[in-house]
Structure 1
Amino acid sequence: MTVSPFDSALTGPLLSDAETAALFTDRTVLRTMLKVEAALAEAQARCGVIGAGAASAIAAAAGALDPDPAALAARTAEDGVPLPALVATLRQAVAASAGDEAAQAVHWGATSQDIIDTGLVLRLRRAIGILDGRIAALVTALAGLADAHRGTVMPGRTRSQQATPISFGLKVAGWLAPLLRDRDRLRELKPRLLLLSFGGASGTLGALGGDGIAVEAALAEVLDLAVSPMPWHAQRDGIAEFAGWLALVTGTLGKIGRDLILLAQNEVAEVRPGAGGGSSTMPQKSNPVGPEALVALARFNAGMVGQLHHAMLHEHERDGAAWQIEWLALPQMLVATGAALNHAVALSGSLKVDAVRMAAQLEASHGLLLAEAASFALSAHMPRPEAQRLVKAAATRATATGRHLFDLLAETSDVPVDWPALRDPARHLGAADAFIDRVLAAAAG
């Protein structure tokens, strides 16, 4: 039985991501915490806090240990964290191989949160590498689409109504631009997130006396993490910022999904996002499954990010309840982001663009998408309010009669406007090419 679609054998392939989810399996979590315990022993041996022999024994035992999560479950429920049970298991292994004195050096001067939070940071670093690689692949794919379709003219839509001509390349550039900013945000937040957590019982490293700062520096060096100005046990802004970034990424992708759903509607049919999904009863259906997942995952993360803001409300120097909210929410947000990026990369490689259908949509508007261009052309010969009045009246007649707007304007006014030359929608793309070029330059930078 599963209570989460992310862990379900049925819905996991649609909504989950095995690679990021693997970072949150019980065994991966325990292995990472054992790595931190081994690094702590090494750092303390460098500083002369424990003996080199004890550190070697701890590192060897931690590297070989593969505890059964089920064996730690009862005490985890009792203690509220898995670390005390894990430390006890590690001590037993060290005692068996190197004696009781070496075993007493395990977890010297640290607290459970030091090990759990630092283990989380190590796993988040790996997760960032995974997500960043997928973003890079998606940036490359979208940049190629934007460049290839800079001349593919289609109706622009504002407030769900046809507005003026744009290019499909410009629309794709609009999907790409915020993704580039998401990439910049990730680079900026990493130094605030990838920090060693090491403060001891109440954030003073009091058990280590005068060796605390030296051990902190050595441990950060062993794990290749930065050192924060002070222990951040109860300062969760870095985690909340990262959660916000995850929600921004899935929001960026959800916008793409929403556009694709609308463009793939039968009545529009300007794109086809991959093969589509079938119906249990309607053979003609080709449902936009991938885009739907992008929207669903974006909305999920938008709701979950608030939980990480609740988790910032730590009481005093440590708060078990707020901490547990992070355990509940953050893994799901990461897995959702990984899944969304997988869907987006797949869609970007399978998207079918129907340029003929886009041109037909423009033609079917009887020139109404060029009403703005018509009013500006007339404004060169008459006051703009008068030009707009003429165009609005002609637009009403074009809708009623099915005749082209420009033909009606040519009959209504004798001003010297070259109406046939203005009929090509591609002439009205304005600075679209320049905007595409700027986004592509940012993507290549």
Structure 2
Amino acid sequence: MGAHVIDSLLFQDLFGTERMREIFSDQNMVQKWLDVEASLARVQSEMGIIPKEAAEEIIRKAKAELMDFTEMKKQVDITGHPIVPLLRCLKDVCENNAGEYSHWGATTQDIMDTGMILQVREAYGEIYPKTKQLHSILCGLARKYRDLTMVGRTHGQHALPITLGYKIAVWVAELGRNIERLEQCSERLFMGQFSGAVGTIASLGKDGLEVQRRLLTDLGLAVPPISWHASRDTVAEYVSVLGLLSSTLGKMANEVITLQKTECGELEEPFKMGKVGSSTMPHKRNPMYSEGVVSLSKIIRSTVPLAIESMVTEH
């Protein structure tokens, strides 16, 4: 039973998708942490820092399905720490004490930050192409309805004639700018983290920067110019861009709601077989999907100031 609509069996698909729930599940989060640990072991064995046999065993056993999540939960409650319980579980499943060589030279935030970016990159792989697809659909609608005359309004009042194609073209332009923002911020966002305690990579000596470069290259991430342990600006920027994108989508949905009012009747959501407008008024055709988009856009926008607040850190 879910305590929130996102977890609710009845309502979760109105507020998210199965794929997004998979991406941000505990199972996938832990797998991403293990992916970083496995890649680190591989790189360090290639450089002769840890034994090859130990690295091979770590890579074999770095699978979320092999981890005891119940035990990890107990350990998190006891230790108050997210990664140490994972490392203990990994060591338990590795043979010949190979797990002792995991996490060599790393710190918790290296694993968590890089794992988070791997999750966010997967989510971006859902968001970006769907946004591009919507942009393409809207371009087609703008062309299709370029000659369909409708009322243009200012301050909510009738002003001068426009066309529906023109209105949609305005949406197209705004959505296009958001696509550009997604592309631009992704160049700064998909950057890994491997800097060790306090960000100096001192524990690996002269090998530190090369381990960092090989590790992040192996994971398909950019190498940062310096540690970002205490910097959250790239994450805050991405959340801000998502806030802008969701606001554009919310604006479009709100237009549909407004123009579907009985007094206007200019636009209308598709009303498929089986959809119900009201439990007591059978004539109702409510813009439920558009209302859902508006609600979601408000939720996403509300996270923007929280993301920016996360930038204020110490040391």
Cross-structure match for 1:70: 70
Q: Distance in 2 between matches of 1:280 and 1:122?
A: 44
Matched, 1:247 2:246: no
CA contact 1:73–1:82 (8 Å) conserved in 2: no
Which structure carries more relative contact order (alpha carbon 8 Å, separation 6+)? 1
TM-score, normalization: structure 1? 0.68
Cross-structure match for 1:170: 166
SS at match of 1:312: coil
Map Cα deviations across residues 372-397 of structure 1 (whole Å, 9 max, x no partner).
xxxxxxxxxxxxxxxxxxxxxxxxxx
SS at match of 1:107: coil
SS at match of 2:278: coil
Letter in 1 for 2:46: R
Displaced runs of 4 or more, over 4 A: none
- After superposition, the Cα gap between the structure-2 partners of 1:272 and 1:257, relative to the gap in structure 1 and judged at 3 Å, is same
SS at match of 2:62: helix
SS at match of 2:2: coil
1:21-420 to 2 correspondence within 5 Å?
Answer: 21-63=21-63, 65-94=65-94, 97=95, 99-100=96-97, 102-275=98-271, 277-316=276-315
- After superposition, the Cα gap between the structure-2 partners of 1:228 and 1:120, relative to the gap in structure 1 and judged at 3 Å, is same
Q: Distance in 2 between matches of 1:114 and 1:206?
A: 14
Q: Distance in 1 between matches of 2:127 and 2:76?
A: 31
Cross-structure match for 2:8: 8
Percent identical residues: 37
Q: Distance in 2 between matches of 1:231 and 1:251?
A: 32
Q: Distance in 2 between matches of 1:78 and 1:248?
A: 40
Cross-structure match for 1:17: 17
- How big is the shift at 1:315? 2.0
Q: Distance in 1 between matches of 2:217 and 2:189?
A: 16
Q: Distance in 1 between matches of 2:135 and 2:237?
A: 23
Structure 2 unmatched ranges of 5 or more? none
- After superposition, the Cα gap between the structure-2 partners of 1:87 and 1:20, relative to the gap in structure 1 and judged at 3 Å, is same
Letter in 2 for 1:58: I
Rg larger for: 1
- How big is the shift at 1:65? 4.8
- After superposition, the Cα gap between the structure-2 partners of 1:161 and 1:64, relative to the gap in structure 1 and judged at 3 Å, is closer
Q: Which deviates further from its counterpart, 169-178 or 268-277?
A: 268-277
Question: What's the C-alpha RMSD, in Å, of the aligned pairs?
Answer: 1.4
Cross-structure match for 1:371: none
Structure 1 unmatched ranges of 5 or more? 317-445
Map Cα deviations across residues 148-197 of structure 1 (whole Å, 9 max, x no partner).
00000000011111111000001111111111111111111112110111
CA contact 2:30–2:64 (8 Å) conserved in 1: no
Q: Distance in 2 between matches of 1:260 and 1:277?
A: 18
Q: Count matched residues.
A: 312
- After superposition, the Cα gap between the structure-2 partners of 1:277 and 1:313, relative to the gap in structure 1 and judged at 3 Å, is farther
- How big is the shift at 1:106? 0.8
- How big is the shift at 1:7? 1.0
CA contact 1:26–1:69 (8 Å) conserved in 2: no
Q: Distance in 2 between matches of 1:144 and 1:240?
A: 33
Map Cα deviations across residues 244-301 of structure 1 (whole Å, 9 max, x no partner).
1111111010000110001101111111111164112111111101110111111111
Q: Distance in 1 between matches of 2:99 and 2:197?
A: 20
CA contact 1:155–1:162 (8 Å) conserved in 2: yes
